[in-house]
Structure 1
Amino acid sequence: MPKALPPLTWFRSFEAAARRLSSTAAADEIGLTQSAVSQQIRSLESRLGVVLFHRHPRGLSLTDEGRKLLPQVEAALETLQSAASPYLTEERARHVTVAASISVIEWIISPVLPRFQERHPDTSVRFVSTIWPDEYSALRADVEIRFGSEKQVGRDALPLQPNTLIAVKAPGLSGEFKDLPLIEAVGTSDNWASWSEATGHTIHTPAYFVDSYGLALQLASTGNGVALVNSLVAQNALNAGQVERISHASAPATEGYFLAKQSATPEADAFVSWFLQLIPDTAPERV
């Protein structure tokens, strides 16, 4: 049965001593005491059954066996160093993973994302699109911007404000509200009927149904009708003049957006701080 492989530290001590021809210099290089290096080299010689060094009063010299072993040990250590170097760099790459719906990424974050890069040029952002509450549990995102009811997704999260439903259309779309096509996002508890009940406005049957506020906003911005959307999602589009409100009336939303920070890293802190500046109605002290 073959002998067990000697410990890696023994090979490191041998390689450093062989390169420096001094156990004292080797000890300084690898952070051990001189006696520890000498003992590990002797242990390696004992395990291999050969003498690796000639010991002299003022240093070391390699034996034939030592010269034969050194290139192989150097190659093995270089392979290990190459394999481990991506994980051992002094300055690891800075990044933050953000899980959010396409609506949030496209309409809230994307229009102003260059501002984050200007402030944090060394931090990369990875976006992971999500829709349903159970998708967040399968992710390992640093920051989550969840959508749903407070009971579903509000645990340990900050509710984002404003959280109301507003009716918007493209500025160039003319016509009376009663005559324009209505666009409705399905999959939420709120719809044109609940908005009508809350605001007192009479509505007609929607012409288009979509699966997100973001898509409803996209259809409205290109002149396809009047969309009922969450005011948080619509804010940048309103500021940019892509859409305008058809009425000042708004209704409270049953579901909303919640911010949860899942990692205590400087990059996550920076992203959360920046994001909350985009929505000043939200109280940041609760994060």
Structure 2
Amino acid sequence: MPSRLPSTKELHAFLITAEELSFTAAALRLNVTQGAVSRQIIALEQRLDVTLFHRHARGLTLTVKGGEFLPLVELALNQIQRAVEQVSHDKRTIKLKAPSCITPWLLPKLMQFQQIHPEIDVELTSTIKHMVNFATEHFDAAIGYGDLNKLPATDKNLESDLLFEEKLTPVCSPNLCSDITTFTLDTLSEMTWLHATPEKSDWKLWLRQLSKNTEQPEIANLKAKQNQHFATLDLSVNAAIQGFGIAIGDITLAQTELEMGRLMTPYSLDISSGKGYFLMRPKSSINSSLERLIDELLPNH
């Protein structure tokens, strides 16, 4: 048994390095030098008398012992963080992380929640990432995105509930289509397609289903004369609202814009992507304030 326990700085350095598998990338996240991170890892390995990483010319890989140690460190640091927050923070403040694309759905619910519970503050952090690591990111809850057939939170220390299933369909500004009386596939191919992913996966998924429904195999290979790519779903949909082209949007996320007439759905087909948005939280972070927010976001909770 080690004569002295590792410091939290060493453990945190190990955790970030295990995520990045690069001393350079870990140093950038920790805002220290690469040498400082390397020394912390070496000190930790010497203290434990085990090798945690295999050093390679182009990066790192965890050893068997390092892989065994990682989830234990994540759990320990998470418990320490929760203990500190429980003692030093007002539990009427909820720290919530959510992907930026879900903002149109989430903000009205948060505003309604704040009106009902003005004594509870919700600190919302927006991100382009769809997942969270509660061991290194100190949030009370987060909204994630993942496959419906397996909840993103498989850790026994986490709770996870489906908020809504993703259903996709083309959306565009009514102004863009003001001169179009009938939407055909020729009409579609003449428009600029707006993509939220480099792989154009949402458009491909929708076209494949339309091809099956109409029994026209050639539809699956339909191409646009012009394409525009964006980093996130909300950016592509915002471009559609401004009339720059037609995007594949989620029905639930676009609901407000559809009701306001800023967007329209020119085709009746909407499809399930097999994915959805989930509300995740560590069991250790659940308290009366968070439970109230969960009830707002999950009416059937």
SS at match of 2:298: helix
Aligned residue number for residue 215 of structure 1: 235
SS at match of 2:289: helix
Q: Does 1:171 align with 2:161?
A: no
Decide whether the 8 Å contact of 1:213 with 1:233 is kept in 2.
Answer: no
Aligned residue number for residue 182 of structure 1: 193
Q: 1:1-287 counterparts in 2 under 5 A? A: 92=90, 94-105=92-103, 107-132=104-129, 135-137=132-134, 138-150=136-148, 151=150, 153-155=152-154, 156-174=159-177, 175=180, 176-186=187-197, 190-200=201-211, 202=219, 203-205=222-224, 207-262=227-282, 263-277=285-299, 284-285=300-301
Aligned-residue Cα RMSD (Å) equals: 2.7
Residue-by-residue CA offset, 1:34-87 (whole Å, 9 max, x unaligned): xxxxxxxxxxxxxxxxxxxxxxxxxxxxxxxxxxxxxxxxxxxxxxxxxxxxx7
1: CA distance between counterparts of 2:131 and 2:112?
31
Q: 1:265 to 1:210 in 2, by over 3 A?
A: same
Decide whether the 8 Å contact of 1:189 with 1:254 is kept in 2.
Answer: no
SS at match of 2:201: coil
Q: 1:94 to 1:171 in 2, by over 3 A?
A: same
2: CA distance between counterparts of 1:187 and 1:122?
43
Counterpart residue identity of residue 169, structure 2: I
Counterpart residue identity of residue 125, structure 1: V
Q: Unaligned 5+ residue runs, structure 1?
A: 1-86, 278-283
Q: 1:213 to 1:134 in 2, by over 3 A?
A: closer
Counterpart residue identity of residue 175, structure 2: G
Q: 1:246 to 1:256 in 2, by over 3 A?
A: same
Decide whether the 8 Å contact of 2:165 with 2:276 is kept in 1.
Answer: no
- Overall identity of the aligned pairs, in %: 21
Instruction: Provide the TM-score with structure 2 as the length reference.
Output: 0.56
Counterpart residue identity of residue 122, structure 2: V
> Comparing both chains, which one has the higher relative contact order based on Cα–Cα distances under 8 Å and sequence gaps of 6 or more?
2
Counterpart residue identity of residue 261, structure 1: R
Counterpart residue identity of residue 168, structure 1: V
Counterpart residue identity of residue 174, structure 2: P
Decide whether the 8 Å contact of 1:133 with 1:153 is kept in 2.
Answer: no
2: CA distance between counterparts of 1:216 and 1:103?
10
How many positions carry a matched residue from both structures?
190
Instruction: Provide the TM-score with structure 1 as the length reference.
Output: 0.58
Residue-by-residue CA offset, 1:100-129 (whole Å, 9 max, x unaligned): 101112x11224533222111111111122
Q: What is the CA distance between 1:164 and its match in structure 2?
A: 1.3
Counterpart residue identity of residue 267, structure 1: S
1: CA distance between counterparts of 2:247 and 2:207?
13
Decide whether the 8 Å contact of 1:182 with 1:208 is kept in 2.
Answer: yes
Q: What is the CA distance between 1:215 and its match in structure 2?
A: 1.1
Q: What is the CA distance between 1:242 and its match in structure 2?
A: 2.1
2: CA distance between counterparts of 1:128 and 1:250?
30
Counterpart residue identity of residue 153, structure 1: P
Q: What is the CA distance between 1:240 and its match in structure 2?
A: 2.7
Counterpart residue identity of residue 264, structure 1: I
SS at match of 2:252: helix
